Amino acid sequence: MVRQKIGRHPLLLALTIFSVLVLARSAAAQGGIVSGVVKDGAGMPIAGAKVTVEVVASGRKLVSTTNAKGEYIQVGVNGACTITVEKDKMTGTRPVQVRTGQTFKADFILTAGGGAAGEGLSPAMVETQKAFTEGLAASKAGNNDEAIAKFTHAAELNPKCADCYYNIGFSQTQKKEYDKAEEAYKKAIEIKPDYADAYNGLANIYNAERKFDLAAGASTKASELSSVIGATGGGNPDASFNQGVILWNAGKVADAKKQFEATLAAKPDHAEAHFQLAMALVNEGNLKEAGSHFDTYLKLAPNGPNAATAKALSAQLPK
């Protein structure tokens, strides 16, 4: 998490005792796409198979069904996920890591014996996926040491597994082992130079260590990569927001404000961006507009991490 310093205004000095915490690794707003083909052992498409994509971080499950050609597609997917395919007594599971704007292809071969894996996978890759899946489960449960061990084992089996190193870095970040996390994120980037999430990971640990210049550089790179990968024209709202947080902590309020505005341009219902933009407006003395954004935040996140602060500040501002 990123700890933010709240800006001051003469009318609101009494409220500077509040500390604001926000999640720097929030779920991507736009998401990616997972698609593939499900076949049987003879290579024939399987129609009507149930495909469940579970997003590890939130536990959200997205369900679809294969068509007559055995094809499936699921949109709005982001981060570490587990895909499970079921038909009759056949089932197959594999972990994937999907980035915003990415289209990830995951094909399956289902056999009557169960335990199916992705098409064309070697035994070593099957073992890698098993370790990776177990690592995701451990990470979701907050068992960071176990998660690191599982992801490390997966990386030993497949040294080119950038997602393994990314997840090692994430778990080490949770343990506040920032030096080790930095090494893991950099390894992920070495393997996959366009890994925007790994740059965001670096930005978060640099921010936690108050290395604001390094944090800003990593966040900028993540934002650039996300824009290229997404190619949506509206940018990545979470990358913009994270960059705004880093600029805010570095005392660059005007630059941070631009990032929060960019976040809301891409995603108008981004609650935390409304809160942070309101704080920037307070610093400018634009109290009426700030109050409007505080009120919007309270509508979007009435029980959010900054709800008490937003409510207290809104009550003092002109309407």
CA distances from 10 to 28, 285, 317 (A): 36, 9, 13
- Using CA atoms, how far apart are residues 84 and 243, in angstroms rounded to an integer? 35
One-letter amino acid identity for 75? Answer: V
Asked if residue 178 has pLDDT above 80, the reply is yes
Task: Kindly report, as residue ranges, where domains of CATH 1.25.40.10 are found in the chain.
Answer: 2-29+129-314
- Identify the helix (H) or strand (E) that includes residue 252: none
One-letter amino acid identity for 195? Answer: Y
Find out whether 110 and 49 touch, Cβ atoms under 8 Å: yes
Calculate mean pLDDT across residues 112-133: 64
Four-residue CA torsion sign, 299, 236, 183, 213? negative
Structure confidence at residue 236 (pLDDT): 63
Structure confidence at residue 7 (pLDDT): 41
Calculate mean pLDDT across residues 188-199: 88
DSSP bridge pairs for 122: none
DSSP 134-155: HHHHHHHTT-HHHHHHHHHHHH
Within the chain, strands assigned E span: 2-4, 20-22, 32-40, 50-55, 61-65, 71-77, 79-87, 90-98, 103-105, 108-110
2-4 vs 20-22, strand pairing mode: antiparallel
CB proximity list for 228: less than 8 A, separation 6 or greater: 194
Task: Kindly report, as residue ranges, where domains of CATH 2.60.40.1120 are found in the chain.
Answer: 32-121
Confidence tier at 192 by pLDDT (50, 70, 90): confident
CA distances from 224 to 89, 158, 194 (A): 45, 28, 10
> Helix crossing, 287-300 with 271-284: angle to 10°?
160
Least confident of 184-193, 249-258, 306-315: 249-258
Structure confidence at residue 117 (pLDDT): 47
CB proximity list for 171: less than 8 A, separation 6 or greater: 139, 144, 147, 148, 151
Write the pLDDT tens digit of every residue in 282-299. 888 888 899 999 999 999
Asked if residue 179 has pLDDT above 50, the reply is yes
Q: Which fold has domain 2-29+129-314?
A: 1.25.40
Find out whether 245 and 33 touch, Cβ atoms under 8 Å: no
Q: Which fold has domain 32-121?
A: Immunoglobulin-like (2.60.40)
